[in-house]
Amino acid sequence: MPIALIGICVFFALRESAFLGPRNLTQLFVEFSITGTLALGMFMILLSGQIDLSVGSGVGLIGGLAAVLVFHHGWPAPAAMLAAFAVALVLWTLMGGLIVVQRIPAFIITLGGLLIFKGLFWLVIRNSTVPVARGDADNLYSLLTTYYLPARAGHALALLVLAVLGVLAWRHRAARRAHGLPVPAAAVVTAIGLATAAGVLGLVEILNRFRGVPLSLVLLAATAGVVHFLTRHTPFGRYLYAIGGNEEAAALSGIPVNRVLVGAFVLMGVTVALTGFMTTAYSGASTTTVGDLMELDAIAACVIGGTALRGGRGSVGGVIFGALVMTALLNGMTLLAVAPETKFIARGVVLTLAVWLDVVFGTAKN
Amino acid sequence: MSSPLPPAVASRPSAILEARGLTKRFPGVVALRQVDFDLRPGEIHALCGENGAGKSTLIKLLAGIHPSGSYEGELRVDARAAAFRSVRDAEAAGIAVITQEFALVDALSVAENIFLGRLPRRGWRVDWLEMHRRAAALLADFGLAVDPEAPIHALGIGQKQLIEIVRAMDKQSRVLVLDEPTAALSDQEVGILLDHLRRLRAQGTACIYISHKLTEVLAIADRITVLRDGASVVTLARSAATIPGLIRHMVGREITEQFPRRPAPPAKPAPAEPLLAVRNLCVAPPASAGAFLRNLSFELRRGEVLGIGGLMGAGRTELLMHLFGAWGCRLSGDVVLQGRPYPHPSPRESIARGLVLASEDRRRYGLVLEQEIGFNLSLSSLRQFLRAPGRINQAAEHRRNQELFDSLQIKAPDQHARTSGLSGGNQQKVVLGKVLMIDPAVVLLDEPTRGIDVGAKQEVYALINRLTGEDRAVVLVSSELPELMGMSDRIIMLAEGARGGEFARPEFSPERLLAAAMHAAARAA
């Protein structure tokens, strides 16, 4: 799979040298932040063996709601976003509740959500284009995807992240050794650490040549950190894996299955709101097509990253990686001015291929 | 273990179906050893035996479910060697098997089910009129007042059973194999079924009839073959068979001292109140109004192993699952757990209150198979390792997992091995380890040694002794009488959801226990 990503990048870079240029990479990473954030929410849903088809429409609706509040009603951006965020929480709590209490399959409930949210979305924006800010003034909403960290802050943040990652890795290694578990050779760890550092600093360097590290990328990194912590270090995350792996056994193990599932949907709502704000801000305005098919990109990113559709398997790292593959593919095709029809086909082929490979290698492993 | 067939029942050449020296091995188990069996035209031949005696395996061979080549010995149909490679081959030879799980499609009509796979056609279309006409004729033949166009799910269990038989007869079956056909039928329905079987017998259809209900067997069978531990023990004519005699043949085996039950020392003053008290418990299955578990009462004290026995379908598993909070709807009765009433059980609350269950179906109810051993061990106990803010202290968790991994002697490279790759015995140890980590007061064990090897069984028995030695109490459900008798301080036999009898250790005998398990059936006669 990493080979596939490199292949995609090399292919596009050869066809269009601007692909790896600072300007395009910056754009690519903003798009990546948007897809990645939504995919992280979807990851927790898939992990528990559920699915959410409504997130694309939801992204449009929540973004549109905030835009209408700002542009038509003159609300300050933070208040508008907070209100829209609350709506997202309510909607996803309701969907999660319906799924666990009425035992209606998530596929059906969220398919209903897809249509309802789409209709609500168009009602809210009255089928028009609603900018995220009045006039040319920036606000918190519009800055989500147009603010870039100053070069120095970017470097500082990168160093801070690297330091934290280094400390965590070192502590993990020490803990494993304390328990007599095998640890990779020091040379290997050092090499991986140096490669990561070089990659991160190099990326910051390139991004700084354009405008700097995009704020949205920082948001994605923070979301990824939180989701990683939740899934790996809390009972909630364990329960997600257990429910996705064997729901009956999970229930008999005393896991509050319903509460955990509703929790996963509420967190999905949180990422939908975040993604809604970012993607609407990225378009500059809410229009009827915002969010179209994003649910499929999110699912594709998860599956490409090794998340099992029937639940119980996957990791944050994989999802981030899958989102990067999907974004690179879309961005590259846009850069090459590939016809939209071809883009659809290419996305479909990549998704199918990823699932097929997952099945082939997944069964081989078992 | 195989006993020679009495000479009186040597088969005649006229046998429609004959089995000679059938031996079927599964990994680690011999399910059938040198079984001889024959079926004559127009006879009803009953198969009796305890759970696990080999009845089901035998009919699976006859039905082609275990294909020829997967077993040793010979099957003959009409005195010619037969090699069934599939169910279709067996059906073509005229053998129809009707199991407890019906092969009926709920969404289809009665007529469609009867002709499933052989729908009458006109050209490329289904000939609905012809199908309904023929179905109506068949049903009338059977004296069944059922609308052929009615959906099958609208029928009662007894009627479904008869529809299966109608279907088998329409396939020109000459041998009908019925596996526990009356397990779910009312007395009246049983009467109707037996009448139909007698009528079919008069028309020359042969029937293999498997039932735990010995009175029923004596009422209908011409001959009776008893299986025990995979071997055919005896074949008797009905006139020579009695219920006590059959039970003796079914259990007749020596019980060796392989069950190291150490009863709790009685020295301590007996605590006043029991850990678990159940009074007049009546429970209905989900989505049903009638009670299945009826009027059960018992008490469980510290350091005690209470055995629960009974035949398949007697309600043992349901009782445990209900106490734990995972099955059924309580109609009446009280459960008191550690002195406090427990009216609305749920797995979560049970675990919190120290009542735990190790399910009989560990792959389905016990384990998250694709996860590591450690993941499964601590799954019910993560609260023990919580550290603010809501974070699992993975080092502490790992230590605790390792303790159990070591003390249970789970055979795997380390606690990070996937559970799916373990043997049955080691998977069972993981389930037990998970239960132990909860630090329970009452442990419900449902068939804890099913499908595991002898060594692992011994370790499970040792664990039971350890639990009671620590002043916990165990409820042990087992289909194996020797195990039940070897490990229990007291045994309650269930019969069709009700108490069939209760026995203290000095009173244990296989004959008594089995008679109590069949108690309800015997009384009905």
Q: Is the pLDDT of residue B180 over 80?
A: yes
Task: Report the C-alpha gap between B248 and B175 in whole angstroms.
Answer: 29
Chain B: residue nearest A254 by CA?
Answer: B348
Whether the Cβ atoms of residue B37 and residue B48 lie closer than 8 Å to each other? no
User: Which pair of structure tokens corresponds to residue B239?
Assistant: 């006139």
Q: Is the pLDDT of residue B45 over 90?
A: yes
Cβ contact A250–B379 (<8 Å): yes
Q: What is the per-residue pLDDT for B263? A: 63
Kindly report the backbone phi and psi dihedral angles of residue B72, in degrees, each rounded to the nearest multiple of 5, phi listed first: -105, 160
Task: Report the C-alpha gap between B52 and B67 in whole angstroms.
Answer: 20
Cβ contact B352–A249 (<8 Å): no
Task: Report the C-alpha gap between A296 and B105 in whole angstroms.
Answer: 35
Q: Is the pLDDT of residue B414 over 80?
A: yes
B392 contacts in chain A (CB < 8 Å): 233-235, 238
User: Which pair of structure tokens corresponds to residue B57?
Assistant: 């395996």
Mean pLDDT over each residue of chain B, to the nearest integer: 86
What are the strands of the beta sheet with B95-98, ordered from one edge? B95-98, B175-179, B206-210, B44-48, B223-228, B231-237
Q: What is the per-residue pLDDT for A75? A: 94
Lowest mean per-residue pLDDT among A88-97, A318-327, B140-149: B140-149
Confidence of residue B411 (pLDDT cuts 50, 70, 90): confident
pTM: 0.81
- Model pLDDT for residues B241-289, shown as the tens digit of each residue: 888 888 888 877 544 446 677 765 554 555 668 999 999 999 998 877 7
User: Which residues of chain B are at the A interface, by a Cβ-Cβ cutoff of 8 Å?
Assistant: 324, 326, 347-348, 350-352, 357, 359, 364-371, 375, 379-380, 382-383, 386, 390-392, 394-395, 398-399, 402, 414, 416, 420, 434
> Per-residue DSSP letters for B449-512?
TTT--HHHHHHHHHHHHHHHHTT-EEEEE-S-HHHHHHH-SEEEEEETTEEEEEEEGGG--HHH
A250 contacts in chain B (CB < 8 Å): 368, 379
Q: What is the per-residue pLDDT for A319? A: 96
Q: What is the per-residue pLDDT for B265? A: 56
Task: Report the C-alpha gap between A1 and A360 in whole angstroms.
Answer: 13
Nearest CB among A233, A252, A312 relative to B357 is that of A252
Cβ contacts of B127 within 8 Å, gap of 6 or more: B119, B120, B121
Which CATH number is A2-147+214-365 given?
1.10.3470
User: Which residues of chain A are at the B interface, by a Cβ-Cβ cutoff of 8 Å?
Assistant: 175, 178-179, 181, 229, 233-236, 238, 241-242, 245-246, 248-256, 312-313, 366
The alpha carbon dihedral of B460, B462, B467, B471 has a sign of positive
Quote ipTM for the complex: 0.89
CA atoms within 13 A on the CB side of A95: 31
β-pair type (B498-504, B305-310): unpaired
Q: Mutation test of the interface with chain A: which of B368, B400, B445, choosing the one with the most A Cβ atoms within 10 A?
A: B368
Cβ contact B391–A234 (<8 Å): yes
Cβ contact A179–B414 (<8 Å): no
B179: which strand partners?
A: B210
Task: Report the C-alpha gap between A291 and A280 in whole angstroms.
Answer: 8
CA distances, B241 to each of A211, B48, B214, B229, B305 (Å): 96, 12, 10, 20, 36
Chain A: residue nearest B399 by CA?
Answer: A179
Q: What is the per-residue pLDDT for B525? A: 41
Whether the Cβ atoms of residue B427 and residue B367 lie closer than 8 Å to each other? yes
Cβ contact B379–A242 (<8 Å): yes
> Per-residue DSSP letters for A241-254?
HHHHH-HHHHHHTT
Nearest CB among A175, A241, A366 relative to B371 is that of A241
A242 contacts in chain B (CB < 8 Å): 368, 371, 375, 379
End-to-end CA distance of chain A: 19
Beta carbon pairs, A and B, within 8 Å: 80
Confidence of residue B412 (pLDDT cuts 50, 70, 90): confident
% of chain B residues with pLDDT over 90: 42
User: Residue ranges of the alpha helices (H) in B177-301?
Assistant: 187-202, 214-220, 243-251
Q: Is the pLDDT of residue A136 over 60?
A: yes
A77-101 vs A55-71: helix crossing angle, rounded to 10: 150
% of chain B residues with pLDDT over 70: 91
% of chain A residues with pLDDT over 70: 98
Cβ contact B326–A251 (<8 Å): yes
End-to-end CA distance of chain B: 33
Q: What is the per-residue pLDDT for A196? A: 92
Q: Mean pLDDT highest for which of A2-11, A249-258, B382-391, B423-432?
A: A249-258
Q: Is the pLDDT of residue B225 over 60?
A: yes
Closest approach of B495 to chain A, Cα-based (Å): 26
Q: Which has more pLDDT, B499 or A362?
A: B499
Q: Is the pLDDT of residue A274 over 50?
A: yes
Three-state DSSP state, A353:
helix
Cβ contact A253–B402 (<8 Å): no
Whether the Cβ atoms of residue A297 and residue A36 lie closer than 8 Å to each other? no
3-state DSSP of B63-123? CCCCCCCCCEEEEEECCEECCCCCHHHHHHCCEEEECCCCCCCCCCEHHHHHCCCCCCEEC
Q: What is the per-residue pLDDT for A1? A: 66
Whether the Cβ atoms of residue A286 and residue A60 lie closer than 8 Å to each other? yes
The alpha carbon dihedral of A203, A205, A206, A212 has a sign of positive
% of chain A residues with pLDDT over 90: 75
Whether the Cβ atoms of residue B468 and residue B305 lie closer than 8 Å to each other? yes
Three-state DSSP state, B179:
strand
Whether the Cβ atoms of residue B471 and residue B305 lie closer than 8 Å to each other? no
Q: Mutation test of the interface with chain B: which of A230, A252, A315, choosing the one with the most B Cβ atoms within 10 A?
A: A252
Cβ contact B392–A245 (<8 Å): no
Cβ contact A254–B368 (<8 Å): no
Closest approach of A286 to chain B, Cα-based (Å): 38
Whether the Cβ atoms of residue B88 and residue B113 lie closer than 8 Å to each other? no
Q: What is the per-residue pLDDT for B272? A: 62
Helices (H) and strands (E) in chain A, counts: 15, 2
Q: Tell me where in chain A the CATH 1.10.3470 domain(s) lie.
A: 2-147+214-365
Alpha carbon B255 to its chain's center? 22
| Nearest by Cα to B319 from B517, B499, B95 | B499
Task: Report the C-alpha gap between B395 and B391 in whole angstroms.
Answer: 12
Closest approach of A234 to chain B, Cα-based (Å): 5
Q: What is the per-residue pLDDT for B23? A: 93
Average pLDDT over residues A234-248: 94
Chain B: residue nearest A245 by CA?
Answer: B368
Chain B: residue nearest A246 by CA?
Answer: B368
Cβ contacts of A286 within 8 Å, gap of 6 or more: A60, A63, A64, A67, A68, A125, A129, A130, A131, A132, A280
